């Protein structure tokens, strides 16, 4: 067992014993990574912050059931991506309901506008291109989007991504290949039309 694995096992033991100090350590160690992952999927800092907090609340409430079949970080990413995708599905359902309600004349309010998000990568040059790329990433199928985010935002290995998604490494390779192909086609078509 490596030093990291031993330290993680010790942290899990302390968490399962109800140690608040261990919980603070967990939050300090993983909060930025979980927040950035959720932000990349939801693209709303407020929503990402809420979902990240929900992940840690869930961990606090369910750590006793953690069996250690996967690494603690894998479990956290799994919870985070699952919650983010559920949150996004709920938001889409609300948008559809608001749209249909407005069509029927029940509500004349302006429908949800695209949020002006502050993604950490937005500090890079070419904010417009980045926004186009992020918009396109958001349109990828869920598993492709999660795999792409975990690989390029969190720099997880293919094996770690496979554990988070509960698929094989070749499946991860396929998801990333298809995601990159889709993004490449979109970027090439944009550059031709600009």
User: Tokens standing for 4?
Assistant: 């990291």
Chain centre distance of CA 25: 21
Provide the residue-wise pLDDT of the chain in tens; the chain has 194 residues: 678 778 888 999 999 999 999 999 999 999 999 999 999 998 889 999 999 999 999 999 999 999 888 899 999 999 999 999 988 876 655 554 444 344 334 444 443 344 444 445 444 445 666 677 778 888 899 999 999 989 988 889 999 999 999 999 999 999 999 999 998 888 777 654 43
Contact indicator for 146, 81 with CB cutoff of 8 Å: yes
Burial class (CB in 10 A: 0-12, 13-18, 19+), 112: exposed
H helix count then E strand count, the chain: 8, 0
Q: CA 158, CA 69: separation in Å to the nearest integer?
A: 18
| pTM across the whole model | 0.66
Which domains, ranges and CATH numbers included, belong to the chain? 1-115 (1.10.1740.10), 119-194 (1.10.10.10)
């Amino acid at each position: 067992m490596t030093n990291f694995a031993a330290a993680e096992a010790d942290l899990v033991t302390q968490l399962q014993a109800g140690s608040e100090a261990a919980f603070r350590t967990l939050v300090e160690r993983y909060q930025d990574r979980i927040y950035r992952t959720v932000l990349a999927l939801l693209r709303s800092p407020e929503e990402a912050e809420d979902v990240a907090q929900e992940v840690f609340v869930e961990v606090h409430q369910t750590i006793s059931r953690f069996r250690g079949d996967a690494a603690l970080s894998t479990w956290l990413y799994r919870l985070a991506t699952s919650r983010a995708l559920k949150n996004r599905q709920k938001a889409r359902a609300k948008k559809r309901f608001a749209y249909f309600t407005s069509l029927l004349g029940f509500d004349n309010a302006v429908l949800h506008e695209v949020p002006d998000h502050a993604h950490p990568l937005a500090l890079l040059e070419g904010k417009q291109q980045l926004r186009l790329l992020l918009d396109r990433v958001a349109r990828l199928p869920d598993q492709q989007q999660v795999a792409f985010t975990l690989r390029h935002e969190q720099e997880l290995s293919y094996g770690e991504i496979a554990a988070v998604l509960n698929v094989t490494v070749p499946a991860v390779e396929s998801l990333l290949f298809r995601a990159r192909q889709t993004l490449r086609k979109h970027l090439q078509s944009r550059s031709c039309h600009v």
